[in-house]
Amino acid sequence: MRKIVIGQIFRDGKVMGTGFLVKPDIVMTVKHNVVTADELITDEFEEKEIVFRIEDNDKVVGKTINLLEAIEKGIDCVFIRLNEVLSETEMYDLIDVKNEIAGVGCQIIGFPKLTSQKTTILATITNTQEKRLIVNIKTENQLENYEGVSGAPVIVLGNILGVIIKQENSKRLEALPIKYINKVLKCEKISIKKRKFLLVFRRKHLV
């Protein structure tokens, strides 16, 4: 049975956001969790050492493997190879969706600083574009500030369709679609599957 392993991204001892395993030793997160805007001004870049924490006392060191490519191509997504394998179980699939998914219910699992713990946020995908997914948060799950959620997966029934990149307001978050990531990045170290969801799936699984 596949599973999802989600943790916090640390850099220089500071919590930067959320990340999740896509392979037993590779974490996916957003670029701005590992490199600052000031660092992007310079012409010299190198892969960054990052710490991935699942539990309070369970930290694993890793290093980005595609930061230079992500900067060059202007995409907010990076992969981190960890120094050890964290799971022998296969992870949730990354899905390059081949049809319209507006109206599909989803989960976002991350570490908002306001809750100080791993939190599951229920939402609905309301708008899909090539470079972004817009998700509307259910009223009971809304927060004023989603800081710490950047890098969290957008999950639909055990499939990862996107990664959260920013907050629009207390009701809406924006995600980078796996479909776009697959188009722009080489993604040689990970597996991305192309899949079409049936319309009956969309109608039955609204949040």
Cα–Cα distance for residue pair 206/33, rounded to 1 Å: 30
Residue type, position 49, single letter:
E
N-to-C CA span, the chain: 24
Joined tokens for residue 107: 């989960």
Pick the CATH number of 6-82 from 2.60.200, 2.60.40, 1.10.287, 2.40.10: 2.40.10
Domain boundaries, the chain: 6-82, 93-204
Residue 50 sits at φ, ψ, to 5 deg, of -130, 150
pTM of the model: 0.92
Q: Which residue, chain included where needed, has tokens 């596949």?
A: 2
Nearest to residue 96, comparing CAs of 19, 192, 203?
192
pLDDT tens track for 19-71: 999 999 999 999 999 998 777 776 667 899 999 999 777 899 999 999 999 99
Average pLDDT over residues 119-127: 95
Q: Do domains 6-82 and 93-204 have the same CATH topology?
A: yes
Run of H or E including 16: strand 14-23
Q: Which fold has domain 93-204?
A: Thrombin, subunit H (2.40.10)
Helix (H, G, I), strand (E, B) or coil at 133: strand
Q: Does position 83 have pLDDT exceeding 80, yes or no?
A: yes
Q: Which residues of 11-30 are buried (b: 16+ CB within 10 A; e: fewer)?
A: beeebbbbbbbbbebbbbbb
